Structures are given as C-alpha cells and as structure tokens.
Amino acid sequence: MISRVIPRVFKLVDHRSAGVPVPIYDRPADGVVRDKLGRPLRDLRISVTDRCNFRCVYCMPREVFGRDYAFLEHAELLTFEEIARTVRILRGHGIEKVRLTGGEPLLRRNIEALIEMLAAIPGLDLTLTTNGSLLKKKAQSLFDAGLKRISVSLDSLDDAIFKAMNDADFPVHKVLDGIDAASAAGLRPVKINMVVKRGVNEGSIVPMARHFRGSGHILRFIEFMDVGHTNGWRMENVVASAEVVEMVGAQFPLLAAEANYPGEVAARWKYADGAGEIGVVSSVTQAFCRDCTRLRLSTDGKLYTCLFGTQGRDLRAILRSDRDDEAISRFVAGVWQSRDDRYSEIRTAQTAGLEKVEMSYIGG
C-alpha cells in the first residue's frame, strides 16, 4: 500500500503552482540573486532519474521501493534539452556548479548526450554522483563527453556490510573497479562518499580511511540524515563527524584544512604525513545551512530549495509552455528570493517525521 501512496504525494505536493504563477522577483542592483537569508545561488543539483539498481537503506529502502513501486513514466522526466535550457538560463543568475544525480544517473539512457550539452556551457563546473555499479563500463565515455570529476558512493569495504547497506547483493570489488576506471579515464580526483550509520558500518570507518590513504582519491564521511520519510532515521543511528575524525585521527594524525570555496559541504582534514585528505559532512550535528547555496531540480522538474524540502515549485510546466527564457529566469529567481530554508539548524523529532521529498527524486 505504501508504495502506491508515495508517488501521489509527490505529484500533489506542489498544488500551489498548478497555475504556474511567476513568483515576485526583485532584480538586485548588483545582479546577484540572494535568498531571504542573504545566500547567493551558486549550485544546482539535478536528478536525471528516480530509478536505481540499489536499495540502500538510507535512501531507497526495499520495503518501500520494492517490486510494485510506481516509478515515473519517461514522459514525466525532464528531457535533456529542457535540462540544458534550464542550466543555460541559470548561468545568468550565478550558477557555477552542476551535479547530476539520481536515483542512479548512469541508468538514464544516453546520459553522455546530456553531459555533452552541459559541458558546452562556458564556465560550468560539471560533476556527477554514482553508486559505481556501471562506472567501469562508462567511465571513458563520460570523460570523453566532457565530464571532469565524479563522486562514487561506497559505504564499506566489507562485502557483507556493503551488501547489507545496498540491499542488492552488489559486491565491493565492482565499485572499486569502477573507481579505478574513472581515475584511469581522467576523472580525478575521485571522491568516495561513505554514509555512516551506527550499528551497521561504523566499524568500516578506519579500514576505508586506510584503503584510500595515499590513493589520490578523497574519502568523505557523511552523517546519516533524515532525508525523505522512509529510511527510518533516528538520532541514535547518527555517528557524529567529530567521532569519525577522532577515530581516523587516532590511527592517522589529521590537521584541519581550509575550505576550497565558501559554502563547501565537506569540512576538510589533511593527513599530517601528506598522504591526502578526508572530508566530513555534518548536516545533523554541525549544520551548515547559513552557507548553503544549492538549488535542486527533481526528476520530474520540480524546484526544491532544500534537501529536506516538503514542497517543490513546478518548473516543468513552464518549460513546456510558451514562456520565454526571461520568464523562466524570473520564475527561478523568484523561487530563490523567497527561500528561507534552514532545516538542519531547526531539526527536531517532529520535523524529522515530516513527509519530505525522497532523496531518489532530488539527489543527495
């Protein structure tokens, strides 16, 4: 029953924009679009598909996203042309970085064609996040299409633990092969994302750090978050980033490092002996909402101004209307200017239980 209810929630959640009104947009004198808390628009994360071949417990738990789950029809997805048009327009509002996500983005047929379109947009930092299952096969074609960087999800080096988390009987070595292929193709440095859930894989923290030390890749530990409302999130399952840093640092001394740019999600720590670095993403215990510059575009063309959002604004309807680029530009700018999200700073047991949009619709 649950698997049939959730898709309807997503389709009705944006009832306010059924008539596709253009939000009020005040054009700033300096040309920089800022939200109500003064945060500029810099990053766009695009979910290109809601489908995934994994059933990770923190994202698409099998008891919800099972055999009878109703995924979106192809006609409901934004086309590559619609996505590229959106990105070109948003470059005018200061978008500098675009990350393609899913679901599993490499399941989207001919994803290389979209990458070619986006890579042709001047001044754009283009990257992609994948579970690595198809990466060995696609790494070279992704690089050839214009992708320069990639992030790979890997939650343990232990097969039993990794399979328990991905719930798809997928082995570690195939993800590692994908990482090697990506690096060989020129997608460097590869960033490896490990979601840490207490009682499941916290014992893999130090082995992961040991494995990727000196590899040239960057390992990032991510606190288990209450994204969506189906992953059974509880605070007691969160391993705080401070604990992660302490565990790794006890084996391999660490030094705090400066952020690469304002609003960087991961806090950086360098190995004291120069063997590389790790990052920690602390959305639960050390909220970074005040520096968040990210807008999210869902698989079916909704704009979300927060990873933990409950409502999106319907951009797809405008893209498929006769509105010109200026109207679309004003719509998106108005959505951003009305933004006051700071979910992680005000998280409570009550807010954690809200029917938030699932990660597979807006990416991580």
Rg of the chain (C-alpha set):
20
Which of 88, 59, 293, 300 lies closest to 168 in space, CA to CA?
59
Say which amino acid occupies 240: A
Q: What is the pLDDT of residue 7?
A: 33
Q: What is the pLDDT of residue 165?
A: 92
Q: What is the DSSP string of 68-109?
A: T--PPPGGGSPPHHHHHHHHHHHHTTT--EEEEESS-GGGST
Q: What is the pLDDT of residue 16?
A: 37
8 Å CB contact between 360 and 65 = yes
**Distance separating alpha carbons of residues 282 and 263, to the nearest angstrom:** 13
State how beta strands 294-297 and 277-281 pair: unpaired
Sign of CA dihedral 101, 107, 109, 115: positive
* Nearby residues of 160 by Cβ (< 8 Å), 6 or more positions away: none
Q: What is the pLDDT of residue 355?
A: 66
CA angle 355, 361, 362 (to 5 degrees): 95
Asked, as a colleague might, if the bond just before 103 is cis with ω within 30 of 0, I would say yes
Q: What is the pLDDT of residue 360?
A: 72
Domain ranges of the chain: 2-362
Using the structure block, give the residue that is written with the tokens 């690469």. 260
pLDDT tens for each residue of the chain, 364 residues long? 333 333 323 332 333 343 445 566 666 666 689 988 999 999 999 999 999 999 888 778 888 788 788 889 999 999 999 999 999 999 999 899 999 999 999 999 999 999 999 999 999 999 999 999 999 999 999 999 999 999 999 999 999 999 999 999 999 999 999 999 999 999 999 999 999 999 999 999 999 999 999 999 999 999 987 665 666 668 788 999 999 999 999 999 999 999 888 778 899 999 999 999 999 998 888 877 788 899 999 999 999 988 777 788 999 999 999 999 999 999 999 999 988 877 666 665 555 556 657 767 777 6
Q: What is the pLDDT of residue 76?
A: 95
Superfamily (CATH H level) for 2-362: Aldolase class I (3.20.20.70)
8 Å CB contact between 358 and 6 = yes
Q: What is the pLDDT of residue 362?
A: 78
